[in-house]
Amino acid sequence: MQKRVNEVTMGGSAVTLLGPKMKVGDLAPDFVVQDVAMNAVKLSDFKGKVRIINSVPSIDTSVCSAQVHHFNVAAANLKNTVIFSISVDLPFALRRYCAAEGIDAVKVTSDHKELDFGLKYGVVIAEKRLLTRAVFVIDQQGKIAYVEYVKEVSNEPDYDKVLAAVKALV
């Protein structure tokens, strides 16, 4: 398993990321995560659509919650686009969060079982068994069109760049 150091910090301290670093132009690896009802969801279930993958450490933190809310609002203006939010939070907690916060336009999913997404996209924080904050935009043909591994986990991604990448595809 590939280990990457000094790419991301958490609270100012460097952490180790497990898995490969994705780049623009890479074929997006398929993965399986669980939705809030514990059903399997695959990236390939949404072939032909633009897909935003929003990787967050935990839905129960203010920055992660703000990020999910931002994409939930943005979804209304995006055609032919599916937005995933992926963390290692349990599906039960994700269901409670979505109900309490009115999240209905983002597919909030869990990678807690096998870290299938996290290890394939290089976002697993080895020291914490959490996912680092990152955003990927995947085009209709399954290639990565935008990547942002947020340098400091407590910071939000560059939403303008993410949405510009999506709008260039639709």
Q: Active-site positions?
A: 64
* Residue 120 contacts residue 145 (beta carbons within 8 Å): no
Virtual CA dihedral for 137, 49, 109, 53, nearest 10 degrees? 0
Single out the residue of 125, 116, 126 nearest to residue 154, CA to CA.
125
DSSP 22-63: P-TTSBPPP-EEE-TTS-EEEGGGGTTSEEEEEE-S-TTSHH
Rounded to whole angstroms, how far apart are CA atoms 142 and 157? 22
Q: Looking up tokens 């309490």, which residue turns up?
A: 100
Q: What are the tokens at 76?
A: 């209304």
